Structure 1
Amino acid sequence: MKLLLDLGNTRLKWAVREGAQWRARGAVSWDSDIATALREAWGELPAVDDVVGASVVDAAREAAVADAVRAGCAQDTFWLRTPAAACGVRNAYDEPQRLGVDRFLAMVAAYDAGHAPCILAGVGTALTLDALAADGRHLGGLIAPGPQLMQQSLVGATVRVRPERPGEVLDAAANTADAVASGCWQAAAALIERFVRRMSHSLGGNPALRLGGGDAAALLPLLEAPAELAEDGVLHGLAVWANAHPAATRAL
């Protein structure tokens, strides 16, 4: 039984995996008291043998989660750092460890499920894009602010752009609130579609487009390119990696 942890910028997602089956899963916000939230969430969990985490947050939050794991599961946490290659996926970065482990694991999940060649878009605090070839080669990617961060940045850097309500996404807006929302969400959609067009030839002509992240469902209807949601890609990728490297997690 494995406890898998996905420490993202907005929240911590977790799941318990036994073989090919998900036994439990949940999420807690960083705005909560993590120790209390995890103690409540894990109060009825079955005993776990291994705990594997993927993190894009700071060391202090990793340490707080590791403490909660020890208290609730009597286990140490193995933190996976981005490798140069694993589970059939080869990292394109010159310095492999600088690729976000969440992006790498999303590619592992897609490759393992037979979705390559594909474009993976992570739509959250950041908007990330990665191109994955049929043979598991990562061809590189892009990082931009996510649509909500774009809006926050615009409001924070200007004096007169002050929406008084959440805006609607329209083709052309007639007020500030709708103009800000429409511009930022459409910018994200446009960047994704441009990346798909520019990488299509290198990926064999018609790569699948898969969207993950907290804002993926909201962005999906804005895309003209065919796309599908890829939920919990990091947790799926962690499960694949943990099954392929059992000795690493037990060497703690």
Structure 2
Amino acid sequence: MFLAIDIGNTNTVFALYDNADDISAMWRCETIASKTADEYAAFLKPLFAMENTSFDDISFVLVGCVVPEAERHIIGFSKKYLPRDPVFVSAENISVNVDLPVPSQVGADRLINAVAVVQDYALPAVVVDLGTATTFDVIGADGSYLGGSIAPGIRLSIDALSKATAKLPHVNVVKSERAIAKSTDEAIQSGIFWGYVGLIQGVLGKIKSEMPDGVRSVIATGGLAPLFADYIDDLDCADETLTLKGLLAIYKEMR
């Protein structure tokens, strides 16, 4: 069996694959950089048991990680309990050409998404990832990763607004039908929702103006992608499992 691990700034996702392409089990926990190898094992072992499998069944471990401090603990967990040496995704071990001066600066999540897009979508393409950061990644007609943009994430913006002001409350991210709100909570939710609709559409428009061959696919991913999918004019689809698809594709390339 193959274990894919996606370590993001907010959450860590573990996806278990058997010999087929379908995910047989998936679990999520909060990303805590100091979480130890033993804590990972204590979290995962009963979940494996619920799927009638064990650590001994794992033959390959592939990790996409954007939290460097967490890497040594995942390595420790994998070596001690599986036992397997995990492979970390980087610009050096994927099939996508990274057309940047310093490819190593690109986050693993962005590279993994690019691999998934090359496999599943018409090119050129843009990925909008609504995660801890809001990222825009451009994949060219030849499948090369061309670069992109990074903006603060939606929840990060809400947190910053609440912490930096004396009276503005912390609110949940919700779909807002109106821009003219009737309460403080609703006003923040409206400003966040429609503000990010405008941000996403504005950046996409600028990216398209810089692409001489146009853009054939625009894909949103991340946990908040479905919330915005119907309101972004240029968006073709929301694919919440894009990163896991990319990890599976990279695993197949490495086998």
Q: Structure 2 length normalisation: TM-score?
A: 0.84
**CA 1:72/1:23 → structure 2, altered by over 3 Å: closer, same or farther?**
farther
Match of 1:235 in 2: 244
Give structure 2 stretches of 5+ with no counterpart: 33-38
CA deviation string 1:2-25 (max 9, x = no partner): 211111122221223345522523
**Alignment partner of 1:194 is 2:202:** yes
Equivalent residue in structure 2 for 1:37, among 36, 39, 43: 43
User: Residues of 1 paired with 2:121 and 2:173: CA distance?
Assistant: 39
Question: How far did residue 189 of structure 1 move?
Answer: 1.9
With over 3 angstroms needed to count, the CA separation of the structure-2 counterparts of 1:162 and 1:114, relative to structure 1, is closer
Deviation at 1:152, TM superposition (A): 0.8
Aligned AA (1:128):
T
The answer to whether the Cα contact below 8 Å between 1:172 and 1:179 also exists between their aligned partners in 2 is yes
Residue 213 of structure 2 corresponds to residue 213 of structure 1: no
Cα separation, partners in 2 of 1:3 and 1:203, compared to 1, 3 Å? farther
TM-score normalised by structure 1 residue count = 0.85
**AA matched with 1:161:** L
From 107, 112, 127, give the equivalent of 1:105. Answer: 112
Q: Distance in 2 between matches of 1:100 and 1:215?
A: 19
Query: Match for residue 86 of structure 1?
Result: 94
Aligned to 2:59: 49
Amino acid at match of 1:210: I
Letter matched to residue 77 of structure 1: P
Q: Is the 8 A contact 2:129 2:136 kept in 1?
A: yes
* Cα distance in 2 between the residues matched to 1:138 and 1:164: 36
Query: Is the Cα contact below 8 Å between 2:159 and 2:170 reproduced in 1?
Result: no
2:22 alignment partner, SS class:
strand
Question: Cα–Cα, structure 1 residues 159 and 12, in superposed 2: closer, same or farther, change >3 Å?
Answer: same
Answer yes or no: is the 8 Å Cα contact 2:221–2:238 preserved in 1: yes
Gaps of 5+ in 1: 247-252
In percent, how many aligned pairs have the same letter?
A: 23
> How well do the aligned residues superpose, as a CA RMSD in angstroms?
2.5
8 Å contact from structure 2 (residues 9, 132) kept in 1: yes
Structure 1 position 64 matched with structure 2 position 64: no
Task: Give the drift of 1:231.
Answer: 2.4
